[in-house]
Amino acid sequence: MRYLFVTVDGGGNLYPELALAGRLAGRGHDVRFLGNRSQRMAIERAGHGFVPYQSAPDIDATASETSRFKDWATDPGTAFAALCDHLWFGPASLFAADVTAELDRHPTDALAIDYFLYGALAAAEKAAKPTAVLWHTTFGEWEVLNQGLPALNAARARISLPPLTTVFEQYRRMDRVLVLTPESFDFAITAQLLPANVRHVGPQIPPGSGSAPASTEPRQPLVVASLSTTYQAQQDILRRIIAALGTLPVRGLVTTGPAVRLAADLPGNVQLSAWTPHAQIMPRAALVITRRAPRTRTRPFRRRQHGRHRRRGPRRSGRSRPRAQRPPPRREPAG
């Protein structure tokens, strides 16, 4: 089969997508990506075809100077508005146009689309292609997102799709919503109905990530600090973490990601790395210091899910959330 992954440079969202793409390619399927130019190297290095957006915003999550969001420098409300205007909803028509053009250029049997990209999802609906939404953080339907409903409906009208009553209906029109984190990480404090097409499939680790090598290092506990793949003005807090680790009887590993070039005097017990495969370090880590980055946050949790602990993960409620019943997704004719 021929799969098209539609992504955007959101930092850590690409790596679980590459994990899924790698499994498909390993089974003999043809996989290609439509994304931002900043993602080309990682995608092509993984062995997949890549096509850049022609109309949609060309985002580089590591570029602090040209970022449209600057969520590290503004209040949350302003940052949220920027995300709505420049990624989720404002350019929805542009994402829809690029997806439609790529489907016309290259025959495709199924799509996997980042959940940020409402316009791309609308284009997949219009094309009547089987589609999975890749939800790379905790699942939730937050009412505040309905601020983007007018822009989404305008994008849908341009490709002759009917209006929606909420932005979440766009997800429910897709075949599957694959949540790439454990269900126990969801924000819901009490049990809530899950849409019938939602499946929690857990953290996705790229093929070839390897396993942890046998350690020949001293027995001090390993502390891993990994804050973000994207630029978040994290230099100062990284320096403070390094200084604190230097005072403790531990081994410290601080990963900076591609967005930060950190000049710091390192204590003898702390190592600095731009990137280290999680599978090589997380099984040995005694403590992980992180922000809400999904790839870092869920990797240690995935380790705990193995073996006898598989069903003992913490839950927000005493039972799994029930699923709402709904009819199959509606398929609009492509013509």
Over residues 86-138, the pLDDT tens digits come to: 889 999 999 999 999 999 999 999 999 999 999 999 999 999 999 999 999 88
Domains of the chain: 2-200 (3.40.50.2000), 222-305 (3.40.50.2000)
pTM: 0.75
**47 versus 328: which is more confidently predicted?**
47
- Which pLDDT score is estimated for 95? 98
- Which pLDDT score is estimated for 299? 47
- Which pLDDT score is estimated for 60? 86
pLDDT band, residue 326 (cuts 50/70/90): very low
- Which pLDDT score is estimated for 256? 80
The crossing angle, in degrees rounded to 10, of helices 294-304 and 14-26 is 60
Report which of 47, 54, 59, 45 is spatially closest to residue 8, judged by C-alpha positions: 59
Whether 325 shows a pLDDT value over 80: the answer reads no
Q: How far is CA 9 from CA 40, 60, 102, 156, 167, in A?
A: 10, 6, 18, 23, 22
**pLDDT tens digits for range 204-240:** 876 555 444 445 555 789 999 887 676 677 778 888 8
The amino acid at residue 109 is D
**pLDDT tens digits for range 231-258:** 677 778 888 888 899 999 999 998 887 6
- Which pLDDT score is estimated for 307? 29
- Which pLDDT score is estimated for 284? 85
Measure the CA–CA gap between 233 and 80, rounded to whole angstroms: 17
Residues 6+ apart with CB under 8 A from 30: 1, 2, 3
Q: How far is CA 35 from CA 55, 99, 231, 261, 329, in A?
A: 11, 10, 19, 25, 26
Question: What is the overall mean pLDDT for the chain?
Answer: 81
- Which pLDDT score is estimated for 189? 59
Whether 329 shows a pLDDT value over 80: the answer reads no
The amino acid at residue 273 is S
pLDDT above 90: percentage of residues in the chain: 48
